[in-house]
């Protein structure tokens, strides 16, 4: 089985580019399952229903989220009703939506996709380690393979999470920093991991936004409204090949379009 994971889709430009490429990438990489982080796919930030529906309609199987997923109230009902769009598992239980989904993939395999938030340099959330542990125990017997998007700032937290769940969660990838890391690897117990997938957003930008207001904020501490970057778009992600019989990852490959 080949899993394609696409990094944070940023704004209208990033969403439009992802819509054009998802099916092409799926065909080129012979993907069986496509997972897209879209917590910032809306104009501005957050996730809106229109963007989510478009991404799912373009070939994405599951949309994962992050600290901005619940920024727009309009998406709350969609999260409650659509099992293929998940928000972080370790948000309060009363939050809209769910933190995981189980879908059927090739050969009828049941694949559980979960999403967790990191705690370091992030807004308050439940411990992602214990939240994921609880979910694995609660769903034991209901899934064959597991995938996790850990949406976190700190490299150390993502690496520790991957090592802790090595062999129990087959595919672990980080999102949130919008910068693709060059550390894709197979861990000792067979899980595939990359610290951050990168983003689908403008090349000439700072994390997807125009550089000028970001620089001004650092230099003067005057915060102007951030605007979406423009120009050439890049889409970053990774492809994980899984040996479904042994339930371990055979290869991890970074991709950039």
To the query of whether residue 68 is one of the catalytic residues in this protein, the response is: yes
Question: Could you say which of 68, 151, 176, 178 is catalytic?
Answer: 68
Lookup result for tokens 């957050």:
46
Q: Alpha carbon 198 to chain centroid distance?
A: 10
Q: Alpha carbon 82 to chain centroid distance?
A: 17
Say how far apart CA 243 and CA 247 lie, in whole Å: 6
Say how far apart CA 203 and CA 109 lie, in whole Å: 37
Collapse the DSSP code of 171 into the 3-class scheme (helix H, G, I; strand E, B; otherwise coil) and give the result: strand
The two beta strands, 233-243 and 199-202, are: antiparallel
The two beta strands, 110-117 and 100-104, are: antiparallel
Catalytic annotation, residues:
68
């Amino acid at each position: 089985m080949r899993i394609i994971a696409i990094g944070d889709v940023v704004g209208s430009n990033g969403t439009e580019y992802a819509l054009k490429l998802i099916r092409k990438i799926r065909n080129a990489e012979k993907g069986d399952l496509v997972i897209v982080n879209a917590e910032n796919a809306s104009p501005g930030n957050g996730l809106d229903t229109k963007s989510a529906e478009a991404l799912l309609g373009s070939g994405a199987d599951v949309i994962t989220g992050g600290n901005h997923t619940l920024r727009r109230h309009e998406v709350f009902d969609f999260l409650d009703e659509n099992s293929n769009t998940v928000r972080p598992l370790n948000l309060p239980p009363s939050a809209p939506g769910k933190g995981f989904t189980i879908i059927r993939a090739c050969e009828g395999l049941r694949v559980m996709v979960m999403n967790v938030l990191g705690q370091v340099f992030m807004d308050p959330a439940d411990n992602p380690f214990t939240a994921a542990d609880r979910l694995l125990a609660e769903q034991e017997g209901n899934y064959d393979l597991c995938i996790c998007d850990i949406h976190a700032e700190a490299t150390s937290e993502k690496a520790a999470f991957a090592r802790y769940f090595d062999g129990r969660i087959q595919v672990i990838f980080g999102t949130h920093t919008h910068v693709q890391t060059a550390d894709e690897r197979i861990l000792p117990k067979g899980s595939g991991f990359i610290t951050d997938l990168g983003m689908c957003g403008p090349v000439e930008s700072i994390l997807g936004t125009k550089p000028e207001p970001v620089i001004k904020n650092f230099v003067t501490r005057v915060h102007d409204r951030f605007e979406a970057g423009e120009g050439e778009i890049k889409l970053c992600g990774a492809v994980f090949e899984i040996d479904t019989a042994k339930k371990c990852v055979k290869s991890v490959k970074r991709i950039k379009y």
